[in-house]
Chains A and B, each alone.
Chain A
Amino acid sequence: MMAPDISRFLLAVLFSASCRVIIASDQICIEKEANKTYNCENFGLSEIPDTLPNTTESLEFSFNFLPAIQNRTFSRLINLTFLDLTRCQISWIHEDTFQGHRQLSTLVLTGNPLIFMAETSLNGPKSLKHLFLIQTGISDLKFIPVHNLENLESLYLGNNHISSMKLPKAFPTRNLQVLDFQNNAIHYFSREDVRSLGQATHLSLNFNSNDIKAIEPGAFGSTVFQSLNFGGTFNLSVIFDGLQNSTTQSLWLGTFEDMYDQDVSSDMLRGLCEVSVESLNLQKHHFSDFSSTTFRCFTRLQELDLTATHLSELPSGIEGMNSLKKLVLNANNFDQLCQVNAASFPSLTHLSIKGNMKKLQLGVGCLEKLGNLRKLDLSHSDIEASDCCNLPLRNLSHLQSLNLSYNEPLGLQHQAFKECPQLELLDLAFTRLRVNPPQSPFQNLLFLQVLNLSHCFLDTSNQQLLAGLPVLRHLNLRGNPFRDGTIPKTNLFQTVGSLEVLILSSCALLSIDQQAFHSLRNISHVDLSHNSLTGDSMASLRHLKGIYLNVAANNIRIIPPRLLPILSQQSTINLSHNPLDCTCSNIHFLTWFKENLHRFEGPEDTLCTNPPSLRGVKLSDVQLSCGITALGIFFLIVFLFLFTVLLIFAVKYLLRWKYQHI
């Protein structure tokens, strides 16, 4: 009699256990967009959880366990457009697996040990556009079923055992835009290999890390490519021979730290004369005989990237490079800006010398022949100058964007950027600036819209610091302390009335004067986060409406009722990480907060600090009633009662006294 009871009980336990698994898997998938986007990564699931809605469109299912996938595996989720099955230990993809998935456009199968894909395994989707078969053990391109690839735009085949890029005869290439063979074993290309690309034009082909040893001369001839990447190939002449007469927008021939490097000689680059290229990258190569003849075949280039090519000088007297628009010389070893010999590139509009390995001297007028220069990046280059920047930037009258961030101290005099009156963007972040008050270094930058002065150690009490910037929209002053932690009534913002975005985070602010932002009428975004401001500073925003206001990580405890109208007129507010008070002394704000929850950014981090019993509770969850308590009402009634009794007695006594003396 006992045994069946126990077994029934255990069956119940068993049943509840299997229920728990379903509940657990319910919690596993993270909802990123309701009913549409779910993430179920890293849970070793062996099937699609029942709890995923049928309407799911985007599913990240990587790092789970699906040894074989077939028709019924995903059959319920017919609206899938994106399916990521990275490293799910898939060995088999059986017939008609995606038959019902008409909308599927991206399928990721990276890192699965595929043994076989059935002939009809990819049938079903109306337009399958992106297919990732990276590191799936493919050695023969015939492995990929071709029946439903007419709409394929990108095919990723990296990290396999492919030794020939020749596509099978039936392979549709009409819509193909990206074909990625990174890190395979392709050592040779024949004309026939390239011919298999069929009608595809403006294709991006990636053969990075393939150790290419030979190409049949002209194999790529008379084809037009969007981009070609032969990264890590050390014998560049092999590549150029193969590319004879071809046309490509961008050619990437850089190498890497871990590659065996053969010096590039000027002879090797001769082949470039036969190729039509707009943009060329040669990063990390060593050049054996760098001279003006090295550039003989570069004359048609529009962009040249020589990042980290161990250069300490560009030769003077390079001829015919009139069409070069963009030159990247990052991470090289220049001592002096003049060593770039910029005069050889008169049409240059973009120049980048970022992350120079040595201390870069700006010199005088080194770039003065670059009258067309629009964009100059000299960041992270250890630049130090006591009097910047008119002499070094002489004649750059068309410069629109200048980046001098992350450098050594710069001394700025009055009108320090007079030579570049067209500047629209100036980035000086993390470069210490020396400005003597009351000088105005940015005076007369009539077009400057964006100015980044974060962590520049500025003297913010200089009221003329920002004078002469009539159209400045975006100002970043993060990390610059103000004197006494206060922004006074008269301050440096009075000259920049056109500001729309103002960033004053991490400025060690304690208070802001009520009138401090009075001249800022157009502002739409104020970031005051990471200071020590209290609720009272909010009064300085009285005249502003509809702004984004970030006061996260300050010292705001109580927001008095008189300030609530000021907050009410703003569109988005971030009050997170403040020591907010959740007692009755803050009841008006707390009530208002709940009514205006939609205005708040980061409500999950907007927590109470006081009283201790509510510490860490979300402000939106707090329930307070701050009327008179029951005890108070009781005492009030008792008091009134006693008072009435006393009054009656007094009147009675008074009347009696009066009558007795008549």
Chain B
Amino acid sequence: MKGFTVALLAWTLISPCKGSSGSGSREAWPTHIACRDGGLEMLYQSCDPLQDFGFSVDQCSKHLKPNINIRFGIILREDIKELYLDLALFSKGSSVLNFSYPVCEESLPKFSFCGRRKGEQIYYAGPVNSPGFDIPEGKYQVLLELYTENRSTVACANATVICS
């Protein structure tokens, strides 16, 4: 009986130790729905091993309007005086589109959140200057990455867009 107690004690003490060592393989972040409406479904999952983030798109539709409004919530792990977005679009496993877009630059901070610092929590609800277009039917994989001038990741998302 005594042995069992000690074993239990040992187990409870060891278990959190493993957690704090940070070496254990962590479950992937959950998949969230960015929008689901008008024949369009957008799902995403954070691919930053350190944290999840929140994202949603207003007025979801396969006839995407220009300058759509989004909501975005995240904790910054880097200063974002300079912030860049890389987007890679795949359809049926082959690459369709790749582009890189400066979001914040020292000479042109486009958004009011530019210049915020590491550790700040950001909530952005507002427009992104996107073009309007019709999304052809199909299933698309999108890889989005926000990073700083040192190529340090600010946010990373694996998204799936299903248009039916």
Residues of A within 8 A of B (CB): 2-4, 6-7, 10-11, 13-14, 17-18, 20-21, 24-25, 28, 42-45, 62-63, 86-87, 108, 110-111, 132, 134-135, 156, 158-159, 182-183, 208-209, 231-232, 254, 256-259, 283-284, 307-308, 328, 330-331
13 pairs from A and B in contact (CB 8 Å cutoff): A2-B3, A7-B3, A10-B3, A10-B10, A13-B10, A21-B21, A25-B21, A63-B77, A110-B117, A110-B118, A110-B119, A156-B117, A182-B116
* Bound CA–CA A63/B2 (angstroms): 40
* Bound CA–CA A28/B23 (angstroms): 10
At the interface, yes or no: B136 with Cβ under 8 Å from chain A? no
Find chain A residues with CB under 8 A from B129 CB.
257
Report yes or no: A159 in contact with B120, Cβ–Cβ below 8 A.
yes
**Number of B interface residues, CB 8 Å?**
36
Closest to A23 in B: B21
At the interface, yes or no: B97 with Cβ under 8 Å from chain A? no
Taking the closest CB of chain A, its distance from the CB of B34, in whole angstroms, is 18
At the interface, yes or no: B89 with Cβ under 8 Å from chain A? no
Interface of A is mostly: loop
Closest to A44 in B: B20
Contact of B22 among A28, A254, A328 (CB under 8 A): A28
Report yes or no: B116 in contact with A159, Cβ–Cβ below 8 A.
yes
**Given A7-B3, A258-B126, A283-B108, are A17 and B17 also a contact pair (CB < 8 Å)?**
yes
Number of A-B contacts (CB under 8 A): 122
Chain B 34-50, CB-CB to A under 8 Å as 1, else 0, gives 00000000000000001
Report yes or no: B17 in contact with A20, Cβ–Cβ below 8 A.
yes
Residues of B within 8 A of A (CB): 1-3, 6-7, 9-10, 13-14, 17, 20-23, 50, 75, 77, 107-112, 114-121, 124, 126-129
Q: List 7 A-B pairs, minimum CB-CB distance, nearest first.
A: A111-B119, A258-B126, A86-B119, A24-B21, A110-B119, A6-B3, A256-B112
Find chain A residues with CB under 8 A from B119 CB.
62, 86-87, 108, 110-111, 134-135
Taking the closest CB of chain B, its distance from the CB of A89, in whole angstroms, is 11
Contact of A45 among B20, B110, B128 (CB under 8 A): B20
**Given A62-B119, A110-B119, are A42 and B3 also a contact pair (CB < 8 Å)?**
no
* Bound CA–CA A308/B23 (angstroms): 47
Find chain B residues with CB under 8 A from A108 CB.
119
Contact of A257 among B3, B21, B77, B126 (CB under 8 A): B126
With contacts A24-B21, A258-B127 known, what are 7 further pairs, Cβ within 8 A? A3-B2, A13-B10, A135-B120, A256-B109, A256-B112, A307-B108, A308-B108
Find chain A residues with CB under 8 A from B111 CB.
256-258
Find chain B residues with CB under 8 A from A87 CB.
75, 119
Find chain A residues with CB under 8 A from B108 CB.
283, 307-308, 330-331
**Given A3-B2, A17-B13, A17-B14, are A257 and B110 also a contact pair (CB < 8 Å)?**
yes
Closest to B124 in A: A258
* Bound CA–CA A3/B75 (angstroms): 51
* Bound CA–CA A547/B127 (angstroms): 52
Taking the closest CB of chain B, its distance from the CB of A212, in whole angstroms, is 14
Report yes or no: A110 in contact with B3, Cβ–Cβ below 8 A.
no
Taking the closest CB of chain B, its distance from the CB of A574, in whole angstroms, is 20
Contact of B118 among A21, A24, A86, A231 (CB under 8 A): A86
Report yes or no: A14 in contact with B126, Cβ–Cβ below 8 A.
no
Report yes or no: B21 in contact with A111, Cβ–Cβ below 8 A.
no
Closest to B122 in A: A159
Report yes or no: A256 in contact with B110, Cβ–Cβ below 8 A.
yes
Find chain A residues with CB under 8 A from B77 CB.
42, 63
* Bound CA–CA A308/B119 (angstroms): 30
Closest to B108 in A: A307
Taking the closest CB of chain B, its distance from the CB of A287, in whole angstroms, is 18
* Bound CA–CA A624/B6 (angstroms): 53
Taking the closest CB of chain A, its distance from the CB of B124, in whole angstroms, is 7
Taking the closest CB of chain B, its distance from the CB of A439, in whole angstroms, is 35
Find chain A residues with CB under 8 A from B118 CB.
62, 86, 110
Contact of A158 among B23, B109, B116, B127 (CB under 8 A): B116
